[in-house]
Structure 1
């Protein structure tokens, strides 16, 4: 899968996708992440041939840090 984003192309065809170690073996509502040079890809684990989102690494790390620190908790 090759996609254009912010003026450059990203090829995710050979990306090594993984789910969180917190995902159970029978969990069907997960996302998969792949680190490729210059971006972080995120896709639905149930639709591996479907679209993927790409993020700048700093943006992805900020999101993960916010999630770990409860920054997205519902009140």
Structure 2
């Protein structure tokens, strides 16, 4: 039985990747996102050989809300 999460991993990557304007110019901070059917894909442009991660809209929204609330600030280096 397929779940919405299973369906995410069969959705084609047929849009353009979007990279944050905060990625540095040297290309070492290249997290990229793509809107896909049923959610969001997250990839690393430095390592296109690695599979992207895929999240449902509610999973991605929970993460973004946590970032905005500062819940992950302790993970940033000084």
Query: Which TM class, normalised by the smaller chain length?
Result: 0.7 to 0.9
**TM-score where L is the length of structure 1:** 0.75
* Higher percent of residues as helix: 2
Residue-pair matches, total: 70
Higher relative contact order (Cα pairs below 8 Å, separated by 6+ residues): 2
Structure 1 gaps, min length 5: none
Structure 2 gaps, min length 5: none
* Higher percent of residues as strand: 1
| Contact persistence 1:40–1:55 (CA under 8 A) | yes
**TM-score where L is the length of structure 2:** 0.73
Asked which structure has the greater CA Rg, the reply is 2
Runs of 4+ in 1 over 2 A off after TM superposition: 5-8
